[in-house]
Amino acid sequence: MQRQDHKVSTVIRFAEEQVSSQPERCARFIAGAIAHRTQITFALNRPNSIVTVQRGC
């Protein structure tokens, strides 16, 4: 039996004003969507906007 890889696309849309006024909230939303699809978690550290990436089991 052949293995079939199913690729799923996710589209995330923000209003320009929303990205401008709430950039960290938008970044957290995107990180959450990536974590949900890939089981990779992100932590946004506020002082320098550093992103920590951790692969889940």
With H, G, I as helix, E, B as strand and everything else as coil, classify residue 19. Answer: helix
Tokens 């920590």 — which residue?
Answer: 52
Q: Is the whole model's pTM more than 0.75, yes or no?
A: no
> pLDDT digit string (tens) for 1-57?
566 666 778 899 999 999 999 988 898 888 888 888 887 766 666 655 555 556 654
Distance CA 56, CA 13 (A): 26
13 φ/ψ sector (left φ>0, alpha ψ -120 to 50, else beta): beta
Distance of CA 20 to the CA centre of its chain: 18
CA distances in angstroms from 56 to 1, 7, 23, listed in the order given: 29, 20, 25
pLDDT for 42 equals 66
